[in-house]
Structures are given as C-alpha cells and as structure tokens.
C-alpha cells in the first residue's frame, strides 16, 4: 500500500539504504522528523520475518504522550491501520500481527535504560536526553539507532555519534513537510532572518551562542 509520506520520510529511507547503524535525524521546526521515523518503524515492524522490539524513548513519558505517541497513533490511523486492541495503554506498547512491538518509555526510568535488549531504537528530541542514558540504551540495541532533534546547540548527537562508523545524517526543514498547513508555514517564514532562531528552527542548522561567532 502507498502511505502518505513526506520528503522527510524519503530522506530517511534514502539514508537507510546506506545500511547505517546510526541515523542522525536533524532539522528545523515542523519538518515532520518524528512522524516520518515512526512511519518507518511501523513499516519495518509490519515486514519483520521474526518478532522484533523497537523502543521509542524521550526525556519522560508525559513528553512522549504529548508528541511521539500521538504522532504514532495518527500515522497508523491515517493509513487505516490503527488497531485499538493492539495498543496496551498502561504499558505503552503496540503489538503488530507479525509479533513485533513498538514500546514507548521515558529516559528518566533507570530500570528501563538498563533493562532488556531491543532490535531498534528511536531517541525522540535527543538533545533532551543525557549522554549516559543514551549510551545505556544504545549498548542494548542490536540494530538501527535513529535520533531526532532541533539543533539548538551542540550535544552528544552532533559531537560523539558522527565520529563513529556507519553514521548517516538526514537534514530537513519545514520545506520537506508536504502536509504542513499553510498558516504554520507562513508563521515560520515570518521569523526569517531573525538570527539564531531562524538558523535553528527555520534552516535546521546547529545553533550558535548569541553574541559569539563560531567558524
């Protein structure tokens, strides 16, 4: 079936063709980064030939409920695939017909970080997650690691991971989100040229400390 996807999704899939260990999903506001990677996670889970585990992690569970979980439900609902019986609300786990699961939990729960292993990992708004938490998650992940963020400042995702082998960068902006409402697009463009805000949230580039210049 044909999914309703954006250029952001296409860029992530193109990066996946490189068979990376890490995908750095970096970009500006409303580029559809999280939505696209959750679409990919669902498609992979539906195509699995054996049951797999994909963990979607952010700073805490309330943050996930307001963002990634809502996007995940919407993505499957828009394709007519959401099954309420497959969703364990108390555990925040969705089980596909292949037996594969996608689970959501916060990085503020130590037992989850050092718990069971997984096949794939998505770190949502990774610049809000401490490096030690991310490291604990990654050493327990056998396959693909994707992390997304607005690049407001350097952190482990821009400094540590790019030095590693099998790394791929995906850079997107609001222009890559074909389904962005016109009013939101105009609102973002209204901030064009406003210094660091436009650099980070408009252009999806790593932010600078105001008043200082970096090469």
Give the separation between CA 82 and CA 19, rounded to whole angstroms. Answer: 29
Q: Over range 190-211, report the average pLDDT.
A: 90
101-106 and 120-123 strand pairing: unpaired
Q: What is the pLDDT of residue 212?
A: 53
Q: What is the pLDDT of residues 80-139, one digit of tens each?
A: 999 999 999 999 999 999 999 999 999 998 888 988 899 999 999 999 999 999 999 999
pTM, rounded to two decimals: 0.95
Q: Per-residue pLDDT for 146 more than 70?
A: yes
Q: What is the pLDDT of residue 211?
A: 56
Give the separation between CA 158 and CA 180, rounded to whole angstroms. Answer: 27
Q: Per-residue pLDDT for 215 more than 70?
A: no
Q: How many CB atoms lie within 10 A of CB 183?
A: 8
């Amino acid at each position: 079936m044909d999914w309703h996807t954006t250029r952001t999704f296409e860029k992530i899939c193109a990066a996946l063709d490189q068979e990376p260990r890490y995908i750095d999903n970096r970009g500006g506001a409303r580029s559809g980064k999280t939505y696209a990677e959750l679409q990919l996670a669902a498609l992979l889970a539906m195509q699995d030939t054996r049951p797999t585990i994909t963990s979607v992690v952010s700073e805490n569970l309330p943050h996930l409920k307001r963002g990634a979980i809502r996007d995940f439900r919407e993505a499957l609902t828009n394709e007519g695939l959401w099954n309420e019986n497959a969703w364990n609300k108390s555990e925040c786990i969705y089980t596909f017909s292949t037996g594969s699961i996608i689970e959501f939990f916060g990085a503020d729960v130590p037992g989850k970080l050092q718990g069971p292993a997984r096949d794939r990992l998505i770190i949502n708004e990774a610049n809000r997650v401490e490096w030690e938490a991310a490291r604990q998650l990654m050493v327990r992940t056998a396959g693909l690691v994707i992390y997304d963020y607005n690049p407001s400042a350097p952190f482990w995702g821009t400094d540590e991971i790019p030095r590693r082998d099998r790394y791929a960068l995906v850079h997107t902006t609001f222009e890559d989100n074909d389904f962005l409402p016109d009013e939101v697009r105009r609102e973002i463009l209204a901030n064009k040229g406003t210094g660091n805000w436009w650099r980070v949230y408009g252009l999806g580039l790593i932010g600078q400390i105001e008043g200082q210049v970096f090469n």
